[in-house]
Structure formats: C-alpha cells, structure tokens
Amino acid sequence: MATIHDVARAAGVSTATVSRVLNGNARVSDESSGRVLAAAATLDYWPNAAARSLRQRRSHALGILLPDLYGEFFSEVIRGIDHEARRAKFQVLISSSHGEAEAIAAARSMRGRVDGLVVMAPHSESIASIGRIIRRFPAVFLNTRSVNGTSAVTVANEEGARQVVGHLLALGHRTVAVIMGPHGNTDAEERLEGYRRAMADAGIEPNSALEIAGDFTESSGFHAATQLLALKPQPSAVFATNDYMAIGLLSALGGRAVRVPADMAVAGFDDIAIAQYVTPALTTVHVDAYELGACAVRLLVTAIGAHKGVPSRHEILPATLVIRQSTQATTDWPGAGRVSGRTSRSTTLPSNAGRKEARP
C-alpha cells in the first residue's frame, strides 16, 4: 500500500508539497502539482482521511440522524442532503435512531468523524437527547423547531392542513374527518391543529368522533376505514395527515365498494411520488422533501465555516395544495390538477432562542 512518502519520492517533491497538492492548496506550481497527481494515480495512493482530520481538526463529513430510512419521504430528504453536501465538498454518514438511547449512541459514534449533524427528531420526548447532542456538535434540526438557539428547517404543516381542509369545505363537505398521526409527533400535531382551525373558521362545532387515531402507516389508514364507515352521520370527506394513511384508506374503501370521491372524498399530505398514480389520484399537500434536506445542509455548512457564532435561523418551507381526482369526480373542471395556496416564511431567531418540539 503506497504512502505519502512513496508519492513524494516518485514525484521528486517533499511530503509537505504532496499534502498541499492533495488538499487543493494553490501555493504549488502547476508543474509540481501535475507530477504529484500523476504519481498518486500511478501508485493508487489514498490519503489517510483520519490522519488529515486530526491535523486539520476537520473531517469534511456531516452526520445525519433520521428516525427512519424507509419510504419515499426519507429517500427524498436524503437525496437533498447528499446532493447539497457533495456540492459543498462534504461526505455524509447516515444513521437511523429510534428513541433517545439510540440517538445518543449514534451521535457518540460520529464524534470525531463529522464536523456537524443534521438531526430529525420527530417526537417531543426527543428533546432531552437533542440537548445533549448539540453541546458537542454544530447541529441543524429538521422538522423540529430551534432548540437552544440552533438553526432548524420545518414545513408549514398547519397552513398546509388548513389549505386542504378548506378545499374540502369549499366543495360543500361539512362532515370532514381526520386521520391523525402518532401522538407526540410534531408534524402530526401541527397538521391536526390546522384541521381544527379550518373547521372552526367554517363555524363547524368540534367533534372528537371525527378525529381517528393513526400512526402515519398505510395499515393505520386501511384500518381507519372501519371506524369512519361506522360513524353516524358518516363523513363525506376525510383528511389523512400523511399520504401513506390516505393510500391505505383508498385501498380499504375500494374493497368495500365505497366510491371516491362520490361517496367519500379523500385527501392526504406530503405528495409522495405514488400519490399521483393511485386510483383515483390523490389530492394532497406538496412538501419539498428534497429541499428540506438541502436547506438543512446549507445552514449547517454555514455554521461549520463561521469563525464566530452566526445567528440561528428557522426556515419554514412552503406547503402547497395539489388538487387531484380523489376530491373531484373529473378533471374537466377549471382548477383540476392545479397547485395553489403557496406559503413561505423565513425568520431569524436570536442566538438564545429556546424552542421545543420535534417530526416523522
């Protein structure tokens, strides 16, 4: 296995010159750089990243902690993280963590190997682990409001939910049910609040019987059909707080010969790729999961590169209503398939801002 000394000997330069060339230092002549790169290629020399990290006190890697790595939503988040990290010349180390103990263990394993962390902590009970992690790393949080002055990127969940429920109400539905997400999940709580506010704005009295338990999985949406069809009066429309539950519900209703949207309109949230291909195509709220990941990396790279502390930021990405056939019988009406109701906000938080809450 070739060493830096072998490369220096073959190129006729010092090891310091080899190091400068391989680190992209401009203080080396083109002629010397060419010899070093040619020697390194001939010898198949791989620099020791660990040793370089010790010298520079930088690893040029980012740690990513997500609650799960499965599904279209997380796939798009990771794609955005990876593309933006590579653009900034960082590599990524990705781990999933379920609960506080796993999050701490994953963060410990990355200490010394990454320059900062992107963390998605969806549940309110994750706050304790978040507090322990950010004392040791620059960090940016996904779908978690800023904690102890740390930057965060979230989605306009409440506004998105109000848009889609408002759409159902505008179609004339008055008995609108909701399939909720997991208890303690920030996204689920904000979307439920948006549903409740939209119903209240329409002058409709709260009805807890219309709030059906769910856990963001297809199976919970499928099983929710039994409760929904047993309600008296039966709801004419349902807002599932994510697309997976909406798709599970569509499957169950189809198996029971319930026509969508003629007998029951169905809407979801997230606009995962499959949402436009189910039958009927799903009305939903579009969330740019790719940008969610990319924005988090941009904020983190800025924090890592700053010589002094930078003001923390709370970026709120838009949630955009996409109307499809699951709430409209045909595509012949003027607004079919349109994207509407954009909302986007960005706020700069004071460095000592302490926000609680945490996502899927």
Name the most confidently modeled range: 58-62, 148-152, 162-166, 325-329: 162-166
CB 304 within 8 A of CB 88: no
Instruction: State the pLDDT at residue 98.
Output: 63
Which residues, at least 6 apart from 89, have a Cβ–Cβ distance to it below 8 Å?
Answer: 60
**Residue 63 in tokens:** 């740690």
Token pair in block for residue 113: 């190997």
Mean pLDDT lowest for which of 139-153, 172-186, 283-297? Answer: 139-153
Query: How far lies 63's CA from each of 78, 113, 183, in Å?
Result: 12, 8, 27
CATH code that applies to domain 61-154+289-316:
3.40.50.2300
Among 3.30.360.10, 3.40.50.300, 3.40.50.2300, 3.40.640.10, what is the CATH number of 157-288+320-345?
A: 3.40.50.2300
For residue 340, the model assigns a pLDDT of 43
Residue intervals of the chain classified under CATH 1.10.260.40 are 4-47
pLDDT digits (tens, 9 = 90+) for 278-321: 999 999 999 999 999 999 999 999 888 765 566 778 899 999 99
- Per the structure block, which two tokens stand in for 144? 């978690």
- If you average pLDDT over residues 20-33, what whole number do you get? 80
- Is residue 91's pLDDT more than 60? yes
| 135 pLDDT higher than 70 | no
Give the residue ranges of DSSP H helices in the chain: 4-11, 15-22, 30-43, 49-56, 72-87, 100-110, 127-133, 157-170, 186-201, 218-230, 243-255, 289-305
Given this model, what pLDDT does residue 72 score?
A: 85
Q: Which of 245, 212, 250 is nearest to 231 (CA)?
A: 212
What pLDDT is stored for residue 139 in this prediction?
Answer: 84
- Of 140-144, 243-247, 252-256, least confident by mean pLDDT is 140-144
How do residues 220-244 score in pLDDT, each as one tens digit?
999 999 999 999 999 999 999 999 9
Q: Please report where in the chains the tokens 């740390």 appear, as a residue.
A: 150
Burial of 178 (0-12, 13-18, 19+ CB in 10 A): buried
Which has more confidence, 215 or 313?
215
Q: Hey, which of 38-52, 81-95, 96-110 has the most confident mean pLDDT? A: 81-95
Element holding 315 (H helix, E strand): strand 313-317
Provide CB contacts within 8 A for 265, sequence distance 6+.
168, 171, 173, 236, 237, 238, 283, 326, 327
Q: What is the pLDDT of residues 3-19, one digit of tens each?
A: 888 889 999 999 889 88
| pLDDT attached to residue 331 | 41
CATH architecture of 4-47: Orthogonal Bundle (1.10)
Domain with CATH 3.40.50.2300 in the chain: 61-154+289-316, 157-288+320-345
